[in-house]
Structure 1
Amino acid sequence: MPQHVYVGLVRGINVGTANQVGMNDFRGVFETLGYTEVKTLLRSGNVVFSAAHPLTAADVAAIEKRFTQVAEFSAHFVILSGADFLEITDENPLLAVATDPSRLVVAYLPATSDARAALTSTSLTIPDPDSVSPDVLAVGPRAVYVWCPNGISKSTVPPSFWRQLGPAYTARNVNTAAKLAALVRARL
């Protein structure tokens, strides 16, 4: 039976002293649900894993539920097929602009139509480019890309923009995305 490769991303774990989750426990969330070839990356909520069947919204809900049981706090997961993750990462329109991949960020959204509909909605308020300068913001059909030349912690993109994306999006810098992409490519 063919295996389906997925990337799982969760926001807000192991930041400072809050919401600490050991990587063995994090990996165990997926293994106890029957997923295989589970590989975590760094301590910031990144995992690549294989499934025997295409995942559904119910599968993602089960991952979130199991995570809450293990970690004793809840978190939203962005689960993307390996192919979807690679396409979103590779179609980054700011790759030619950025000079430091650690300051170029991709904000991934869940694959659900509701989450991605926010990106193409006429009600999405995108900041004026001059108001976020020197940052550069690009909104794609499946992700948001931000070049933060002064560093991510000094980003000028307002929090009100991010709130429009809902609670489940999560961002990774291009260095981390490239490492995850290499793990995915090794399995496809």
Structure 2
Amino acid sequence: MARYAALLRGVNVGTTRLAMADLRRVVADLGHTDVKTYLQSGNVVLSSPPARAETLAEGIAKRLADELGLRVPVLVRDGGELAAVVAANPYAGRQDDPTRVLVTFLSAAPEPARVGELAVPAGEDLEYAVTGREVHLHYRTGNYGRTKFTTAYLEKKLGVVATARNWKSVLALRDLTAD
């Protein structure tokens, strides 16, 4: 069995509401075990025989749509991938406030040309690094709640589905998926 974290985009932060008990039930009904949610924002950790992340994500997304009428993107990372994300973060030790260090998870590695064209909007005080299927973010002043460099902005500029988690959540998900 392998441990995975499924990250649902936009759950319980806007108009898309999902009870975590329903999320756990849907994921368990798919045959996954040791299902746990983290916070109320669409993070679910599960055990499953090794599988492609895309296959797991598609299964969860389809079941949420079929059973609950929710059409939300789902991104999946395994425990090893989350450990690598944490190890690769260039901003992890540079900020005491975990709301100023985030990771935006991407559905696929963006095209290099799109990454090359990515720019911080004028007036924003942040750094970013695109590494594979993640964008590491450091808001030196301000925070994610007041920026134009959002998940929607990254989706538009990079051409892939994205969902962001703050550093505290990333660390917790890494720990929950550790073998």
TM range (shorter): 0.7 to 0.9
Query: Given the alignment, which residue of 123, 129, 132 partners 1:141?
Result: 132
Does the alignment pair 1:22 with 2:22? no
Runs of 4+ in 1 over 6 A off after TM superposition: none
TM-score by length of 2: 0.87
Q: Secondary structure at the match of 1:171?
A: strand
Computed over aligned residues only, the root mean square deviation of the Cα atoms, in angstroms, reads 2.1
Output the amino acid matched with 1:13. Answer: V
| In the alignment, structure 1 residue 40 sits paired with structure 2 residue 37 | yes
Give me the whole-angstrom Cα distance separating, in 1, the residues matched to 2:77 and 2:123.
Answer: 29
Sequence identity of aligned pairs in percent?
27
Relative to structure 1, the CA distance from residue 175 to residue 132 in structure 2 (aligned partners, 3 Å threshold; closer, same or farther) is: farther
Which residue of 90, 102, 114 corresponds with 1:105?
102
CA–CA distance in 2 between the matches of 1:184 and 1:53? Answer: 13
Q: For each residue in 1:49-96, what CA deviation from the matched residue of structure 2 results, as whole angstroms up to 9, or x when unmatched? A: 000232363443221110112331201111111111221122111123
Q: Matched residue pairs, number?
A: 176
Tell whether the 8 Å contact from 2:104 to 2:134 is kept in structure 1 after alignment: yes
Taking a change above 3 Å as real, the CA distance of residues 144 and 132 of structure 1, as seen in their structure-2 partners, is farther
Q: Distance in 2 between matches of 1:12 and 1:45?
A: 8
1:175 — aligned with what? 168
SS in 1 for 2:132: coil
| Aligned-residue offset at 1:143 | 0.8
- Normalised by the length of structure 1, the TM-score is 0.84
Cα distance, 1:138 vs structure 2: 1.7
Residue 161 and residue 14 in structure 1: after superposition, are their counterparts in 2 closer, same or farther (change >3 A)?
closer
CA distance in 1, matches of 2:48, 2:154: 34
Name structure 2 gaps, 5 residues minimum: none
Letter in 2 for 1:7: A
Shift of 1:161: 4.0
* Alpha carbons of structure 1 residues 57 and 160: separation in structure 2 relative to 1, 3 Å: closer
The match for 1:121 is 112
Change (3 A) 1:132 1:83: farther
1:68 to 2:60 alignment = no
CA distance in 1, matches of 2:45, 2:146: 30
Alignment-derived partner of residue 8 in structure 2: 10
1:151-166 matched pairs, under 5 angstroms: 151-157=143-149, 160-166=153-159
CA contact (8 A) 2:61 2:74 kept: yes
Give how far 1:174 is off: 0.2
Relative to structure 1, the CA distance from residue 180 to residue 59 in structure 2 (aligned partners, 3 Å threshold; closer, same or farther) is closer
Q: CA deviation at 1:142?
A: 2.7
Q: Give the partner amino acid of 1:137.
A: Y
**Offset of residue 133 of structure 1:** 4.0
Using the TM superposition, give the Cα deviation of residue 167 of structure 1 relative to its aligned residue in structure 2, in angstroms: 5.1
1:107-162 Cα deviation digits (max 9, x unpaired): 0123xxxx11x1x512331215x845421122222310111231111124275444
